[in-house]
Amino acid sequence: MAAVASVVVAVGTVSGLVSALDEDDRGADEARPEVTRPVSFAPLPAESSPTPSATRTASASASPKRKASPTATPTPTRAASQSAAASTRLYRHPESQVLDWVRDHSGDPRQALIKSRIADQPAAVWFAEYAPGTITARVRAVTGGGAASGRVPVVVAYAIPGRDCGGASEGGAPDLDAYDAWIDRFAAGLGSGEVVVILEPDSIAQADCLSSGQRAGRFASLARAGRVLKAANPRARVYYDAGHSGWNPAAKQADLLRQAGAGSAASSDGVFSNVSNFHRTADEAAYDRQVLAALGGPSSLGAIIDTSRNGNGAPADGEWCDPDGRSLGRTPTLDTGEPRIDGYLWVKLPGESDGCKGSPGTFTPSYAYDLASS
C-alpha cells in the first residue's frame, strides 16, 4: 500500500486486523479472526492533544456496474440512539488473533500486559473475504453473540471491488453487481439488535485511482449498501469513510461522501476516520466535525474515530507502516461526551502488523507489546 493510505492490510485476499473465517475453517455459524516484564502501567489514555498531520495520495484502478436500490427504513433520532449506545457496552468477540496468542503463551513475560491492555478490549470484526455463500452465517455469529450478551458489536464490511487501489489490501468482490449481492447477504446477518457497521474503509477517500465512471459506480453501490443495511436492521448504525485529518481537505471529503450517500439518514449515521492510522483524537474530532458541517444532512449524523494506535499521534515523517514510538489510544466507547462524536473504537486491532514488523495483517506480539507499553 502507498504511504498515503490508511494502512488496511491483508493476508492474501483477506484483511488482517480482525476478520471472520470461511465455514470450511470453523463452521458456518462460528466467526473468528484471520491470520489478520512485570511493570505497572498507567491506565489507557483518556484524552489526546493535537499534532501536525501528514498528507497523502493514491493510485490504481477498478471496474464497475449498477443495479437497482431498495427503499429504507427511517433512522431513529440521534438523542435516542446515543442514549441507547451509552447504556450498552461494546461487544468483545471471543475469537481474535490476539486472544489466540494470549491463550497459547501463558508463560510469555509479555502476555499479561498484552492481555490486559489489548486482548481484553472490544475491537471490530472484519469481513474481508469474498465468500458470499457463508457471509450471512459469519456475520450472524458476531451479531448474535453481541445480542446474547447485551453488548454492541462492531463489524467492518470490506469487499468493495478494486479496494486499496491494487495495494497490499487488494481483493474484494469481482465487480459491483457481485458486491451488491454480497452486501444483501451481509445485511441478512445483522439481526435486530444494535450494531455498528464500518462500511468499506478507504473506499471514498482513496477513490482518485478510479475513473469518473468507476467512481460513480462505486459511490452508487455504497449508497445502496447503506440503504440495504439499515433496511435489514433499523438499529444498525452505518458509518462511511472520511479518511483522516491528514488526507483530503474536509470540503473535498464531504463532497465525495455526499456522492456516496453518506449525507442521507436513509443510508447513513455519519462518518468514520483514522482507521488503521495514527492521528490524534483531537485532530480527528475537529476534522470530522468540519466534514459533517460541509456534508450537510440531518443533525443526527455523527462520527466514529479509530483510536486503536493514536495515543502518541502520527509520526512527523508520515511513516505509516508499523512506525516506532506509537501507543494505544483511548479505550473503545460509544459514550464520548463529545458533540457529534459517536464513538472511539478500535477498528484496527493493535498488534496486527501493517507489514513491516510482521507479515501483513498478522498479530505480532513484539509490536503489540511496544504499543501497550508506550
Catalytic residues: 164, 202, 354
Q: Chain centroid to CA 40: how far?
A: 31
Q: At what angle do helices 135-149 and 176-188 cross, to 10 degrees?
A: 30
**CA nearest 171: which of 60, 247, 24?**
60
**CA nearest 261: which of 218, 305, 300, 201?**
218
The alpha carbons of the chain give a radius of gyration, in whole angstroms, of 19
Q: How far apart are CA 58 and CA 49, in angstroms?
A: 28
Quick one: cell of 46? 483518556
**CA nearest 84: which of 235, 190, 309, 224?**
235
Q: How far apart are CA 157 and CA 350, in angstroms?
A: 19
**Burial (Cβ within 10 Å: 0-12, 13-18, ≥19) of residue 294:** middle
Q: Could you please report the per-residue DSSP string of 28-89?
A: TT------------PPPPS--------------------------PPPPPHHHHHHHHHTSP
